Structure 1
Amino acid sequence: MWGRICVNKVVTSRINLLWNCRSLSTMQLKTEEFQSLFTDGLNSIAELFEKNHFELRIAGGAVRDLLSGKRPDDVDFATTATPDDMKRIFQAAGVRMINNKGEKHGTITARIHSENFEVTTLRVDVQTDGRHAEVEFTRDWKKDAERRDLTINSMFFGLDGTLYDYFSGYEDLKNRRVRFVGSAEQRIQEDYLRILRYFRFYGRVAVRAGEHEPGTLQAIRENAQGMAAISGERIWVELKKMLVGKHAAHLIEVMYELGVAQYMGLPVEGNVAELTRVWQQSHAWSPKPMTLLSALLRRSADVDRLDLRLKISREEKNLGLFVVKHRRELVKSQDEPDSLRPYTDFIIDSREPDAQSKMCELLKYQGEERLLAQMKRWAIPRFPVSGHDLRKMGITSGQEIGIILQNLRDVWKESRYQMGKEELLNNVTGS
């Protein structure tokens, strides 16, 4: 028994809110976004759980998206059924199960009607070491919500549209507030990566920078060194998501102020002022995470050290090296400020893989909006002359062919890539 139920009518055409007077708030959601989730696959899965007397609810980020009026791209489910229960149910119904590496953590993935459904048993943490947790399965929804990181991530939706909110996550979401479930210190010490998850969700949810709860920041400061034990791959996943969100420059600055940055692979003397400048002038153009992070790095060696800690991809490392190397030396001409010529000439001469894409990122970094738009429209022209053309003219020396081709390429560049094969070859016959 939850006790007396209070009714609050929220002024909205789509939501009626029921508040429980104790710890649980519920609401009934009947939006188009919610209804659109009910495909043949979900209806079939729901029928199986109901038939076997187990409850199935939507969990995690999908709840947050639905409450924000968005249709979630991915939907995770939680259930009172154990992994053994789910395997028995699915096997009896002839439902295929795939990718069951997560079974020891309580997750079974079922495939039905060409859709995958990831369903996880309710859990409680028995023991944590700051990186991993040993869990036990439970049927208590509140205990499962209690082990989650942030209040806005601790809610569930029943398949009838009922929201189950044990820690005022919906209120926090409406107020654009990011809070840990219960004690910030305890949640962080269970998994130190939650420090970055706090910052990442702050950048997604908060309207304004700098409105952190002092107690939260203090808990992060006192536990910053715990980040040293977190794998670089896990850090990079969260950091990338944070860098493409709101307030990225502010959040990086806070990480330095709280002593977190040094434990996650960022340079001790990172150029926070440069990162702030680059973010302010470029974030509207969606720069890649590595483009923004390059502003923090002062030299190429910083990219190498970052890679050692975070295990960034080869493509990301090459982009970082490219931006750090060329951000000062490759700039627009003062004589022709609206011309792409220095950038296009570099691409024509470059052996850089994917040079045009890297150049777009460099232009974002430099704040060159007009040139960026031109670069996106520009198609790399093909140099029309080959060594075969020169051999047909009777030139047989490989060294001479190489010199002539380079000279013709320079002439072609001067023409802004307009001269054709015949016109270029006339330069050879006339020389």
Structure 2
Amino acid sequence: MNARITADWLRAPALQAVFDALETDGDTARVVGGAVRNTLLGLPATDIDISTTAEPALVMEKAAAKGLKAVPTGFDHGTVTLVSAGTPYEVTTLREDVETHGRSATVRFGRNWQHDAERRDFTMNALYADRSGQVFDPVGGLPDLEARHVRFIGDPRLRIAEDYLRILRFFRFHAQYGAGDLDAAGFAAVIDLRDGLAGLSAERIGMEMRKLVAAPRAAETVLAMREAGIVSRVLATHGGLKPFQNLRALDALAPETRAPALALAVLSDGGEDDLDDMADHLRLSNAERKRMKAARAASDIPCGWGAARPAPVPDTEIRRLLFLAGREAAIDGMLHAWANAGTGPQDDLFADALTRLRDAEIPVFPLTGKDLVSAGVPAGPKVGEGLQKAQAAWIDSGFALDREALLAAAKAD
């Protein structure tokens, strides 16, 4: 693999200005981790993190001298965020562990790039690049990256004992970047140390699981997690693994299959209470909880999905689902039902329904409460009851009844 990178983000004047500030008076700086890894893999680089030999207070002084804004976002742990031309860059002083606690570590600052690399998690995450793009590989990450092999640095048990979240990160990075089998030594270590997951916060577990279930190789990786006794510990469920595999088999047809809320709803393989348990367990947002429940509810709306129907789903059924659920939930629900049916991407009836759910107009109910009051319906509960009756009649008619017919239905005893 090429040991030099060229990328627009590296040549950006904003980043080069950060290098100009840091690399004075004998100090050096390098981009580290995800930006280097992803660029070498031909993937987008998102967060650009920088390591430097300068200690935090000096980083802030250097930034001020060059007119850059400095924010002490993690000062005690060596991290200062520098803002250059409106872009934030996390700058962290080289570190080495003094003592580890399973969730955090006591560190001291240093100037040794090898020691800084050795305290990181995986070899592919310990790659550095200087401002010219020259890549530095202190722990053998380049061969592993080329092989798409997620491997702990040094003894996997020691790396995990430093932070038990690395158990989930091991699976998540394999799902995102890995090829072939899981690293055998790493897999054995996560099984031996899986009890350490109990000490992690739900928020940290939730963040990792959101990313994991959306990754390209999530289906097979979650299966490996079940074999390792991890799934029931982090999801509060034994999981609907087969439906989840079926869902991810549809990736080429629907980007929604990678939405964490839908993926987790399928994995829960349960009703509303089970979804609430999972959402609580992972500290999901209200929006994520709502989407999970909407997908589950929409999957139960009878539309005659799947191979059992000898003909395409009628347009009236498509419009009914869109009207009752809305477009996002309708598509999620259909994908949920498709995953449970297990008929695969070759099911033309589901595929046809998916296309029509994307393209069809959502019916707009033509009556309001004011319309009923104007037509003589007494204000109060009778208005709501009338709207429900009219709406039911409208749906049953295939959305064909006009406004006058709906008013009559609303007022009928």
> Residue 303 of structure 1 aligns with which residue?
275
Q: Which amino acid aligns with 1:276?
A: Q
CA drift of 1:232 comes to: 1.1
Quickly say closer, same or farther: Cα 1:425–1:332, change in 2 above 3 A: same
Aligned partners of 1:426 and 1:66: how far apart in 2? 65
Equivalence map 1:116-135=2 (5 Å):
116-135=88-107
Aligned partners of 1:312 and 1:154: how far apart in 2? 30
Select between 289-298 and 278-287 the one with higher mean Cα deviation: 278-287
Quickly say closer, same or farther: Cα 1:329–1:53, change in 2 above 3 A: same
Equivalence map 1:65-214=2 (5 Å):
65-98=38-71, 100-208=72-180, 211-214=181-184
> Residue 18 of structure 2 aligns with which residue?
45
SS of the residue 2:267 aligns to = coil
> Residue 343 of structure 2 aligns with which residue?
none
Equivalence map 1:32-431=2 (5 Å):
34-98=7-71, 100-208=72-180, 211-267=181-237, 269-282=238-251, 284-286=253-255, 287=257, 288-297=259-268, 298-328=270-300, 330-332=302-304, 334=309, 337-339=312-314, 341-342=316-317, 344-346=319-321, 348-349=323-324, 355-367=326-338, 368-396=350-378, 401-421=383-403, 424-425=406-407
Task: Please tell me whether the aligned partners of residues 79 and 92 of structure 2 are also in contact (alpha carbons under 8 angstroms).
Answer: yes
CA drift of 1:423 comes to: 6.0
SS of the residue 1:51 aligns to = coil
CA drift of 1:174 comes to: 1.0
**How many residues get paired?**
396
* TM superposition score normalised by structure 1: 0.83
Select between 403-412 and 251-260 the one with higher mean Cα deviation: 403-412
CA RMSD for the aligned pairs?
A: 2.7
Q: Encode CA deviations 1:151-191: one digit per residue, 9 max, x unaligned.
A: 10001001111110012211111111111111111111111
Q: Encode CA deviations 1:209-254: one digit per residue, 9 max, x unaligned.
A: xx12322211111001111111111111111111111221221121
Q: Encode CA deviations 1:81-139: one digit per residue, 9 max, x unaligned.
A: 100111111223332223x2311111111112222121111111111111111111110
Task: Please tell me whether the aligned partners of residues 266 and 306 of structure 1 are also in contact (alpha carbons under 8 angstroms).
Answer: yes
Aligned partners of 2:184 and 2:141: how far apart in 1? 19
Quickly say closer, same or farther: Cα 1:120–1:423, change in 2 above 3 A: same
Task: Please tell me whether the aligned partners of residues 131 and 193 of structure 1 are also in contact (alpha carbons under 8 angstroms).
Answer: yes
Percent identity over the alignment? 29
Task: Please tell me whether the aligned partners of residues 28 and 161 of structure 1 are also in contact (alpha carbons under 8 angstroms).
Answer: yes
Quickly say closer, same or farther: Cα 1:410–1:327, change in 2 above 3 A: closer
Quickly say closer, same or farther: Cα 1:90–1:178, change in 2 above 3 A: same
Task: Please tell me whether the aligned partners of residues 303 and 313 of structure 2 are also in contact (alpha carbons under 8 angstroms).
Answer: no
Quickly say closer, same or farther: Cα 1:175–1:377, change in 2 above 3 A: same
Task: Please tell me whether the aligned partners of residues 339 and 371 of structure 1 are also in contact (alpha carbons under 8 angstroms).
Answer: no
SS of the residue 1:28 aligns to = coil
Q: Which amino acid aligns with 2:51?
A: A
Aligned partners of 2:376 and 2:280: how far apart in 1? 53
Aligned partners of 2:9 and 2:293: how far apart in 1? 44
CA drift of 1:65 comes to: 1.3
Aligned partners of 1:253 and 1:430: how far apart in 2? 56
Aligned partners of 2:273 and 2:373: how far apart in 1? 45
Q: Which amino acid aligns with 1:270?
A: G
Q: Which amino acid aligns with 2:299?
A: R
Q: Encode CA deviations 1:344-382: one digit per residue, 9 max, x unaligned.
A: 4355356xxxx4322221112223332222222233332
Aligned partners of 1:357 and 1:182: how far apart in 2? 45
Quickly say closer, same or farther: Cα 1:275–1:158, change in 2 above 3 A: same
Is the radius of gyration larger for structure 1 or structure 2? Answer: 1
Task: Please tell me whether the aligned partners of residues 10 and 133 of structure 2 are also in contact (alpha carbons under 8 angstroms).
Answer: no
SS of the residue 1:274 aligns to = helix
SS of the residue 2:235 aligns to = coil
Task: Please tell me whether the aligned partners of residues 360 and 372 of structure 1 are also in contact (alpha carbons under 8 angstroms).
Answer: yes
Aligned partners of 2:381 and 2:157: how far apart in 1? 70
Select between 224-233 and 357-366 the one with higher mean Cα deviation: 357-366
Aligned partners of 1:324 and 1:389: how far apart in 2? 34
CA drift of 1:77 comes to: 0.7
Q: Which amino acid aligns with 2:67?
A: G
CA drift of 1:398 comes to: 5.0
Quickly say closer, same or farther: Cα 1:198–1:244, change in 2 above 3 A: same
* TM superposition score normalised by structure 2: 0.86
Q: Which amino acid aligns with 1:319?
A: R
Task: Please tell me whether the aligned partners of residues 81 and 121 of structure 1 are also in contact (alpha carbons under 8 angstroms).
Answer: yes
Quickly say closer, same or farther: Cα 1:402–1:151, change in 2 above 3 A: closer
Task: Please tell me whether the aligned partners of residues 123 and 152 of structure 2 are also in contact (alpha carbons under 8 angstroms).
Answer: yes
